[in-house]
Structure formats: C-alpha cells, structure tokens
Amino acid sequence: MYDFDLRTGDSAYSFLLDFFNMSREEYQKEFRIDCKEDIENFCKCNISKVKDISLEDIRIWGFHVLGSLDECKEIRSQGLKNLQKVLSEDTALRRMLKSYGISFDIESIAYNYIRENK
C-alpha cells in the first residue's frame, strides 16, 4: 500500500521517492538532468514502474481549506481557483492583501510588503 500524502510538499516528495524507488539524488538526476524538468517526459521514462500498480494500492491523503471574504459571491461567479490564480488575478483576497501593502509575483516566486508609516 502506498500513502500519497499531499498535506505537505515534503510528504508528497517522499511519496514520489518511495513510489519510484529512488534516492533523492537519483530523482534529481533523472527529473532535472535526464528529463530536463519535463514532467511528461519523466512519466514516459517511468511508465513501467507505474503500469503494474493498482489504484486500489494507493491511498491519497490531503486536505483543503476554503475561505471567503465576500460570502462566497466570487466563488459562485468564478468557481474555485488554486492559490496561485487567487494571488495573481483580480480577486477579493488579492485586493485585500494589496490594501495592506502585500503583493505576490507568482512567476518570479516573490512577494512584496510595503509598510506605510502612519
């Protein structure tokens, strides 16, 4: 039985290492160097390891927290979005954070905080 734990990045990474029976070094070499960080290419290279696994042998662990600043109006009109989209598009959360001087640049993996002196 494989436990695919998506609750943290570290646990998801540990699952991949266990599932593909790789050390960290082997995974880094194969994914980053051999497959040039192309997930589809990585999957093609490792399909033989996946073919024999039954979905019944994988348990997926995760959780999702959902909140709303506008009584779910935005969710009802635009649907659910992942956090990257919520922080990069014109959303209630992004506007609220911006009002406090906080902004995110998802593509550059950066955030900015501008403190106002009052």
Query: Which residues 6+ apart lie within 8 Å of 69 measured at CB?
Result: 92, 93, 96
Only one residue has tokens 């040039």, namely: 36
For strands 58-61 and 2-5, give the pairing: parallel
- The three-class DSSP label of residue 102 is strand
**Residue 70 contacts residue 92 (beta carbons within 8 Å):** yes
CA–CA separation, 4 and 11 (whole Å): 8
φ, ψ (nearest 5 deg) of residue 4: -90, 95
Please check the confidence at residue 72 and state whether its pLDDT lies above 80.
yes
The bridge status of strand 102-105 relative to strand 110-113 is antiparallel
The pLDDT value given to residue 102: 92
Query: Per-residue pLDDT tens for 1-57?
Result: 888 998 888 998 999 899 889 999 999 999 999 999 898 899 899 998 888 888 788
Task: Give CA–CA dist 54/57, Å, rounded.
Answer: 5
> What per-residue confidence (pLDDT) applies to 117?
55
Please state the rounded mean pLDDT for residues 92-116.
86
Q: What was the pLDDT predicted at 34?
A: 94
Of the pLDDT bands very low, low, confident and very high (cuts 50, 70, 90), residue 81 is: confident
